[in-house]
């Protein structure tokens, strides 16, 4: 298995632009998590899904952030409009049982 796939690996955009981050979980995993890593706040959960249904989105910072999981093999995290404070590394992780497997992350820079 190729593991969790995230795209793009790097994204640089200007303030006010829409940004879409993508994630392909490991086949067969029924949980998918979006985490954000910043120097100030560390690693924190944004949202997670079980069987494509959002379970907890309390970590989504504000209405500018939205996440979808239209099917078991694909999820998106969208930021519209983006702001410089959204600059961070965004991780997607999928899991079953004990483990969560992380993707390589997307480094987002908003100028």
Partner 1 sequence: AQTVTQSQPEMSVQEAETVTLSCTYDTSESDYYLFWYKQPPSRQMILVIRQEAYKQQNATENRFSVNFQKAAKSFSLKISDSQLGDAAMYFCAYRISGNTPLVFGKGTRLSVIA
Residues that bind partner 1 (CB under 8 A): 30-31, 33, 35, 42-45, 48, 50, 56, 89, 91, 93, 95-100, 102, 104-105, 107
Q: How far is the CB of 36 from partner 1 (least distance, A)?
A: 11
Q: How far is the CB of 21 from partner 1 (least distance, A)?
A: 15
Q: How far is the CB of 99 from partner 1 (least distance, A)?
A: 7
Q: How far is the CB of 24 from partner 1 (least distance, A)?
A: 16
DSSP 30-58: -EEEEEEEETTTEEEEEEEEETTEEEE-T
Residue 53, phi-psi category: left (phi > 0), alpha (psi -120 to 50), beta (remainder): beta
Decide if 82 contacts 13 (C-beta within 8 A).
Answer: yes
Q: Distance of CA 28 to CAs 97, 104, 107, Å?
A: 11, 19, 26
Cβ proximity to partner 1: between 15 and 43 the closer is 43
DSSP state of 9: S
Cβ proximity to partner 1: between 16 and 100 the closer is 100
Cβ proximity to partner 1: between 51 and 80 the closer is 51
Pull the structure tokens for residue 23. 């994630």
Cβ proximity to partner 1: between 65 and 91 the closer is 91
């Amino acid at each position: 298995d190729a593991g969790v796939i995230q795209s793009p690996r790097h994204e640089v955009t200007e303030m006010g632009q829409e940004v879409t981050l993508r994630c392909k979980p490991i086949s067969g995993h029924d949980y998918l998590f979006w985490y954000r890593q910043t120097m100030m706040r560390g690693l924190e959960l944004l949202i997670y899904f079980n069987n494509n249904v959002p379970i907890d989105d309390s970590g989504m910072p504000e209405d500018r952030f939205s996440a979808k999981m239209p099917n078991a093999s694909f999820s998106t995290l969208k930021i519209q409009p983006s702001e410089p404070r959204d600059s961070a590394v965004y991780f997607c992780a999928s899991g079953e049982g004990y483990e969560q497997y992380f993707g390589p992350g997307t480094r987002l820079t908003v100028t």
